[in-house]
Structure 1
Amino acid sequence: MSTLIEIGEEERQPLLHNPRTHGNEEEIVASSSSIEPDALKLTLNDSGQRLLSLDVFRGLTVALMILVDDAGGAFPSINHAPWFGLTIADFVMPFFLFGVGVSISLVFKKTSSKPLATKKVILRTIKLFLLGLFLQGGYFHGRNNLTYGVDMVTVRWLGVLQRISIGYLLASISEIWLVKNVLVDSPAAFVRKYFVQWIVATLLLSFYMCLLYGLYVPNWEFQPPSLNLSTNGSHAQIVQCGVKGSLEPPCNAVGYIDRYFLGEEHLYRHPVYRRTKECSVNSPDYGPLPPDSPEWCLAPFDPEGILRNFCSSLMAVLTCFAGLHFGHILLHCKGQMHRVLVWSMSSFTLLISGLGLEVLGIPFSKPLYTLSYMCITAGASTLILTIIFYIVDVKHFGKPVVLLQWMGMNALIIYALAACDIFPAAVQGFYWGSPENNLLSSSLTLKICISYWMKTLLGHCMLFLKLIFRVLMAWNHCYRPCFIQASGVPSHLYCSRSYFGALLAVFCT
């Protein structure tokens, strides 16, 4: 016979323990075996528990990348800067690297086995590097070409995913092996915990700056593409350098190291400096060479070369380190507004540093990944992620950005399909009658028409506004004389002269 036992309300315990948010703290209740007394109890590795703002940030980066790739040709103002300068497109790569750094700090906040974690990091790095080589090494020939395959003599060894993989490797190794196991209960303890990591970042920065400004670049030669032999000669072109510390396209240490170690055949054949005024009549867009263009306009240059990967992951990894710092603050600062305040201070410090370095003579340059460029983009990354964190994770206003969140959770797949032209290449394989009549060509024609009409409509709108402005200026020119009697001049004669002047102002200003 069963016995009923009455249990008081205070003795009740749930069968399933659900994570809950208490007050203004995002402390997720977990089992006592996985809780660190000094850290934020935020288990982002568990299923169902993610830092939503980081996913939204990744999704925003992917969306920005797709926008730049598709609209950059129609609107050069949002395309990559030709060499020096900063546009929207130049923030995409640092945003990816910054997000990688934040993820690393959360994934490796506690490692039970450092050798095992290192093994996993190396395997992931190899997979990501090989994926980048497969997607961007020349195996796929892009749109409007149904062939595939690459000559190993001219394969492009380094690319975007390769840079991210190397940055991931260096940042992960530093997070696993260089972080001290100390209790963080004060700002001084925070510094002690990550001091060695910051020293390594400083050494990487110093080494890169020494190479960039101290390496002697001799004269060099290259073979122009056969496409341009008719206008530039069939012989090797000689570029005069013999300098140190130059940041200009032909004589910088970055290109010299790439040519020396990789060889001319393995470099990118469409560098951004072909959109400079020296190399394009349509600058800042690609175009025909000017009549007096220098020899180096036809030379190859890899935007993800050795000094920007194996050494500029000396620089690119510093953007990952900025992401690591962001994640460390998330783990060790206990108040939401305290985190936002510290992140905001860090972001403005980086932004001001980048602007100050640019004023002092270190220009913004994505191809060279200069120190000013690193600071300004890392500061922008921190500021944007802070704003997203406040909106999504603090105020829980995430429904309007659910699409960006989904894109962030599938960033690598979207990048491979969209940015690397895998999806367009697959779509163009279906055609009617001949390969030229495919769905991709039709969509590209529609895109060109839409871009043309958008530019035309924008031009008409600007012309209309300019005309209104001129009419107002002319009316102001006529209005005052008509109501101010000039001495010795009849009013109707003075006003007629003003009307004539106004008419001239409309068409001649």
Structure 2
Amino acid sequence: MVPYRLIKVNEKVMEDLMDKKMEEMEEGYSDKGIIGHQNIQQTTDDLNLNAGREEVPSSEKRRLASLDVFRGLTVALMVIVDDVGGIVPAINHSPWDGVTLADFVMPLFLFIVGLSLALAYKRVPCRIAATKTAVLRAIKLFVLGLVLQGGYFHGINQLTFGVDIQHIRLMGTLQRIAIAYLVSALCEIWIKGNDNVVKSELSLFKRYKFQLGIAVLLTVVHTSLLYGLHVPSWEYQIQSGNTSSAAAGKTIIRVNCGVRGDTGPACNAVGMIDHMILGTQHMYARPIYSRTKQCSIKSPNYGPLPTDAPSWCQAPFEPEGLLSSIMAIVSCILGLHYGHVIVHIKDHKKRIMQWTIPALVLLVMGFIMHFSGIHFNKALYSSSYTCLTAGAAGILFTGIYVLVDVYGYKRLTFVLEWMGKHSLMIYILAACNLLPMFLQGFYWKKPENNILRLIGIGS
């Protein structure tokens, strides 16, 4: 008869071997790029997320397909809302309060960046080296966003390029992701428990309690500033006519505020901080709220101003501004938690439970805040919007994980998985208008005789 203690030892050995095998399978995931896994020459290839982790031979690696599928689905949604949103306003960004399909794209990106960071920084042999690498990658991504979204490539219809430095847009999608990535990476490198063994779900939260504390602190800071700062009256300039003179041809418009806690388009603290720090000349010149009923006779589409349009309708507004980026960091940190579950919990059922319960809690919190007066608002990145989108991202990722990695239905998601592996390249080509510019750049005799006009686009 085999001794009871020997049986327990053998069971422990088998459990350790299974855990090690699962780790080898999941070590293969490395995010080659802030947004996705790709090989786009040395510059963007350096924007990977596997700094500070120990490499496993490629023969022993197998990627978690659900991460690539999730990222690919996010890219697909981005392309759809960018190209179809102008035709179907119901899926375009909400003009102000409320959410549409397009309003989920940015939080989904941030969520998967955070999740990927948990895997990329699972082991950090040298925190100093990992920090330097993370800072460098964030700078590269920020600069890439500055070039792509600062206005340099915006002269597509005129086949021109270049931007006046005095009016370059400083913030944007990639810049926001760079900020959230950097802060979350530093949290993962420096602020977590030293015990690598997580024996229960409770010990998982204890190990990363300070990261969750930072998320709560950032939420309190954002909400306090949004509702506590006094917003004075302010002014902005608009171009009158076609003149490019620095003085002539400009009209100064005054927006009367003098309020506190306003979350409308004109007098909110998010816009005030961006006006003061970035300057209106470095903000997005086509504000989302210009599609509201007050500012467009074709609302919810862009259109001519009504005769009684308020003074703020033409004012610049930065949708990826400084104060709202605080909550973008929170979205990324919430994604970190889902990555921690992958790192420390190997059982499928336990993973699904650890993902589903927090996601449902976040969804409920989001709706409670929304109906209590803290409305869903992407432009302000309200706390209710953060909870709603993070909860939706958690539910979506869990569903994809069950479909792809548990039941193995990978043929159905092959295209999305491929898009996820090359998402940064797709983003550059599609969302930043490089592909349309490339197609429109080839013409016959006159710029108007280009490929896009030939197939009926832009005619």
TM-score by length of 1: 0.78
For the 8 Å contact 1:246–1:252, the answer to whether it is kept is: yes
Query: What code does the residue aligned with 2:401 have?
Result: F
Q: Secondary structure at the match of 2:152?
A: coil
Rounded to whole Å, the distance in 2 between the matches of 1:58 and 1:370 is: 24
User: Where does 1:288-367 land on structure 2 (aligned, <5 Å)?
Assistant: 288-308=304-324, 312=325, 314-367=326-379
Q: How far apart, CA to CA, are the structure 1 residues paired with 2:275 and 2:101?
A: 29
| Whole-angstrom CA distance in 2 between matches of 1:204 and 1:422 | 36
Deviation of the 1:235 alpha carbon: 3.7
Contact 1:27/1:41 (<8 A) preserved:
no
Instruction: Kindly indicate whether residue 117 of structure 2 is the aligned counterpart of residue 104 of structure 1.
Output: yes
Of residues 52, 74, 88, the one that matches 2:87 is 74
The structure 2 residue matched to 1:423, chosen from 431, 435, 445, is 435
Instruction: Note if contact 1:141-1:148 (Cα within 8 Å) is conserved in structure 2.
Output: yes
When the two chains are superposed, the root-mean-square deviation of aligned CA atoms in Å is 2.1
Separation in structure 2 between the aligned mates of residue 395 and residue 72 of structure 1, nearest angstrom = 34
In 1, distance between residues paired with 2:242 and 2:308? 15
Give unpaired runs (5+ residues) of structure 2.
1-13, 31-55, 244-248
SS in 1 for 2:165: coil
Counterpart-to-counterpart distance in 2, 1:185 and 1:63 = 38
1:169 corresponds to 2:169: no
Q: How far, CA to CA, are the matches of 2:26 and 2:411 in structure 1?
A: 25
Question: Which amino acid in 1 is paired with 2:255?
Answer: V
Corresponding residue number in structure 2 for 1:193? 207
Q: State how many pairs are aligned.
A: 411
Q: Which residue of 1 aligns with 2:107?
A: 94
Note the C-alpha offset of 1:442: 2.7
- Equivalence for 1:507: none
**Alignment match, 1:277:** 293
Q: TM-score, normalised by structure 2?
A: 0.86
Give the CA deviation at 1:26: 7.8
CA deviation digits over 1:382-428, x for unaligned, max 9?
00010000000000111111110010001101000110001111111
Could you tell me how far apart the structure 2 residues matched to 1:114 and 1:156 are? 33
**Gap change, CA 1:104 and 1:289, over 3 Å in 2:** same
Task: From 102, 118, 137, give the equivalent of 2:131.
Answer: 118
Alignment of 1:6-25 (within 5 A): none
Deviation at 1:27, TM superposition (A): 4.7
- Say which is worse superposed, 71-80 or 47-56, in terms of deviation: 47-56
Rg comparison, structure with higher value: 1
Q: Kindly tell me: are residues 42 and 140 of structure 1, through their superposed partners in 2, closer, same or farther at Cα, counting changes over 3 Å? A: closer
Q: 1:203 Cα deviation (Å)?
A: 1.3
**Structure with more relative contact order (C-alpha pairs < 8 Å, separation 6 or more):** 2
The one-letter amino acid paired with 1:327 is G
Partner of 1:239: 255
Is the CA contact (8 Å cut-off) linking 2:239 and 2:250 kept in structure 1?
Answer: no
CA contact (8 A) 1:178 1:196 kept: yes
Q: How far apart, in 2, do the equivalents of 1:27 and 1:208 lie?
A: 40
Matched AA of 2:282: H
Give yes or no for the alignment of 1:213 onto 2:233.
no
SS at match of 2:156: coil
Q: Give, in angstroms, the shift of residue 51 of structure 1.
A: 1.5
Q: Which amino acid aligns with 2:128?
A: P
- The answer to whether structure 1 residue 225 and structure 2 residue 210 are counterparts is no
Q: Amino acid of the residue matched to residue 322 of structure 1?
A: L
Query: 1 CA distance for matches of 2:158 and 2:174?
Result: 23
In structure 2, distance between residues paired with 1:26 and 1:103: 22
Could you tell me which residue of structure 2 aligns to residue 253 of structure 1? 269
Letter in structure 1 aligned against 2:29: L
Distance in 2 (alpha carbons) for counterparts of 1:210 and 1:400: 45
Could you tell me the percent identity over the aligned residues? 49
Contact 1:28-1:41 at 8 Å conserved across structures? no
Using the TM superposition, give the Cα deviation of residue 77 of structure 1 relative to its aligned residue in structure 2, in angstroms: 0.8
Runs of 4+ in 1 over 6 A off after TM superposition: none
